[in-house]
Structure 1
Amino acid sequence: MTEVLFYHLTESRLEEALPDLLQRSLARGWRVVVQCRSVERRDALDHVLWTFRDDSFLPHGTDAEDAAERQPILLTTRADQNGNAPDVRFMVDGATAQDLGRYTRAVYMFDASDEEQMLHARSRWTSEKAAGHALTYWQQADDRRWIKKA
């Protein structure tokens, strides 16, 4: 059974919240794939992961490059991309992957200001629960910390 987490962005944008969660995944020794719905979003996140802090970056690559298997974090637009043998799959902007049972953890990140993303997250909650996964829901507090709500 896969642990499926839902992260509800209420106080920050994805570009601000995602790097910290990716750092935590790498600290656990996990390999990660981040699935986006568009090439533009993938490329924007690629830039963010190189520049999100002045004193560090997150090692990563995209599915537009060779050697996906060497990437600790792989950014993709493909639902079937697992070239880096990930333990964790992040899905952003309403992306959906199949067969979440292959991962230790799957993460849906969705923006409170985007009604389409909100509807998608509700739909995925229902589907993942029916699939028997262990679900948790996290929402940002005013100080941007994550609070477990369900």
Structure 2
Amino acid sequence: MTQVDFYVLDERAMGNRFTLACRLSEKIYHQGRRIFIHTESEEESRHMNRLLWTFRQGSFVPHGMAKECNPLTTPVIISHDKESGEEKDVLINLASVVPSFFSRFDRVAEIVDKEPQIVTAGRERFRFYRDRGYPLNKHDIK
């Protein structure tokens, strides 16, 4: 069964959910795992693509947009499409709803920052997973 982790940025935390997605991607990549970052829109996907190059000096996380790279050789794929394509180890969800393909992943990372609409959508996703019996963890990020 898919393990679901909610990462909730504290009110005083620096950065936003996109920055945290970069930090998580870097950590997960260095563990040798494959990652699919799901966003709300093409604009958000492009933003994540740029941010992964610049979020931290000296960091390198090999990544690409789903339709612009080889998913078999690229460890971090970014997309806003309704389907994920190839299954991966970890899904980082930045969209406001639970993607229909989430259960293909060993692990889902749901990221919630301090924006009111993001908090509300995060609570709805939490209820979705809880009501279906998925194992949940919550991590408060300061």
TM range, smaller chain: 0.7 to 0.9
Identify if the C-alpha distance between structure 1 residues 65 and 95 changes in structure 2 by more than 3 Å, giving closer, same or farther: farther
Give the number of equivalent residue pairs: 139
Question: Which residue number in structure 2 is paired with residue 145 of structure 1?
Answer: none
Which amino acid counterpart does residue 4 of structure 1 have in structure 2?
V
Shift of 1:2: 1.2
How far apart, CA to CA, are the structure 2 residues paired with 1:54 and 1:36? 24
**Corresponding residue for 2:103?**
101
In structure 1, C-alpha distance between the alignment counterparts of 2:47 and 2:102, rounded to whole Å: 25
**Aligned counterpart for 2:31 among listed residues 9, 28, 31:** 28
Give the equivalent residue in structure 2 for 1:134: 135
Q: Structure 2 unaligned runs (5+)?
A: none
Hey, what does 1:16 align to over in structure 2? Answer: 19
Q: Partner residue of 2:118?
A: 117
Q: Is the 8 A contact 2:97 2:125 kept in 1?
A: no
**Contact 2:16-2:113 at 8 Å conserved across structures:** yes
TM-score relative to the length of structure 1: 0.83
- Aligned AA for 1:125? F
Q: Distance in 1 between matches of 2:140 and 2:102?
A: 22
Per-residue displacement from partner, 1:76-109 (whole Å, max 9, x unpaired)? 00131133x3111011142421243321110111
Identity over aligned residues, as a percent? 23
Q: CA deviation at 1:57?
A: 1.8
1:53 has 2:52 as partner: no
Q: Which runs of 5+ in 1 are unaligned?
A: 142-150
State the secondary structure of the residue aligned to 1:5. strand
Superposition TM-score, scaled by structure 2 size: 0.88
Matched residue type, 1:46: N
Q: Distance in 2 between matches of 1:134 and 1:78?
A: 26
The one of the two structures with greater contact order (alpha-carbon pairs below 8 A, sep at least 6) is: 2
- Runs of 4+ aligned structure 1 residues displaced above 3 Å come to none
